[in-house]
Amino acid sequence: MQENINGVRVVKAYVREDYEISKFKKSTLDLRDTFLKAEKIIIFISPVMQLTVFSCILLLSWFGAKMIVVNELTTGELTSLFAYTINILMSLLMLSMMLVNIIWSRASGERIAMVLSEEPSIKNPENPIKIVKSGDIKFKNVNFSYSNNPDVLNLTDINLDIKSGETLGIIGGTGSAKSALVQLIPRLYDVLNGEILVGGVNVKDYDIKTLRDNVAMVLQKNVLFSGTIKENLRWGNKNATDEEIEKACKIAQADEFIQKFPDKYDTMIERGGTNVSGGQRQRLCIARALLKKPKILILDDSTSAVDTKTDRLIRDAFNKELPEITKIIIGQRVSSVKDSDKIIVLDDGVITGIGTHSELLKTNKIYREVYESQTEGSDK
């Protein structure tokens, strides 16, 4: 039901209501059959326990009467035996009902316990460094695998040097491990071999909170929470002033559309940001990242939903307002990365080219093909 409600527009667009209804019916019928089996067991338990109770009463009456006749038992003692027996058997009946509920909840309990007992694989070192001196980044012979399998590498032999304040563009096809490369910097994952230095220090030697506070990432999937625009932006810095919020939004080119809302920065954002467009969500997420005042800013294809003019204005604002911050821009459009200080071309987890826009046009076949495919028919 949750999947269908969240994807209701897609279901209607593809006219798949009947198909989804049939899937729902099948699931509910399977659930009904499972519950019926469980209910049959419960129905069977109840008469068995009742039969046991009354059988015990009959046996007590039979043997108790004989013992009273021969003066081996008094009537009061027999009455006490009845009371004790009924109390014990009724308690056993209730216990049997509880056992059924316990079995039902066992599966959920195991899953909850699994989550609660999960230990993060990325931990702080014994004496973590709590100051990031600069935004210098250096990759030294880095290999990475999501499965930690050296035979199945997602990134292979990455060597890269980025100076503080530089802008690095990353371009490559789908599945070329662009996101994997940048996610290694704030230690969302750890390298398999080699090392990554930030500010001249291995990222594994930093306090994780300190490192991630100094590396702001705007991910491919833009997430906003229910609340006002200000409340969403203050995820980047809970103590940010109104002036700081407005400045960050101007750099991210978000102030223009925010000012058009009746409540401006106090406008309510619905869950998931469904009442703003994809481009507006991206710009708000960029502004939120800027409020962290990071030393490194990573945009993981975070301007894909904005038009080329706004994309250009955002990059110009970065160069003018954030000259000291190291900026890493992943893009599918050459126009998003062409003005970078250097650009790397990734292909299947390997750097196949590095240089400026003009250099790569001459030396890198993949970059040239991407550029030509995007400028075909236009004035080059």
Quick one: tokens of 8? 């209701």
Task: Indicate left, alpha or beta for 155 from its phi (over 0: left) and psi (-120 to 50: alpha).
Answer: beta
Beta-strand (E) ranges in 187-338?
193-198, 201-202, 215-218, 227-228, 268-269, 296-300, 326-330
- pLDDT, position 376: 66
The low-confidence residues of the chain, meaning pLDDT below 50, are 377, 379-380
- Reading across the β-sheet that carries 155-162, which strands appear in turn? 155-162, 137-144, 193-198, 201-202
Closest CA to 359 of 348, 378, 380, 344: 344
- pLDDT, position 138: 92
The residue behind tokens 């160069």 is 319
DSSP 8-state code for residue 222: -
Q: What is the pTM of this model?
A: 0.73
The residue behind tokens 């559309």 is 257
From the number of C-beta atoms within 10 Å of its C-beta (0-12, 13-18, 19+), residue 70 rates as: exposed
* CATH entry 3.30.230.10 includes domain 137-375: no
Convert the pLDDT of each residue in 9-47 to its tens digit: 888 888 888 888 888 898 889 888 888 887 777 777 778
- pLDDT, position 358: 87
- pLDDT, position 379: 47
Greatest Cα-to-Cα distance within the chain, rounded to the nearest angstrom:
118
Q: Which amino acid is at 42?
A: I
Phi–psi pair at 141, nearest 5 degrees: 50, 50
Domain range annotation of the chain? 2-116, 137-375
- Give the span between the Cα atoms of 293 and 107, in whole angstroms: 45
Question: Based on C-alpha coordinates, what's the Rg of the chain?
Answer: 33
Find residue 228's DSSP bridge partners: 268
- pLDDT, position 59: 86
- Give the span between the Cα atoms of 169 and 299, in whole angstroms: 10
- pLDDT, position 148: 84
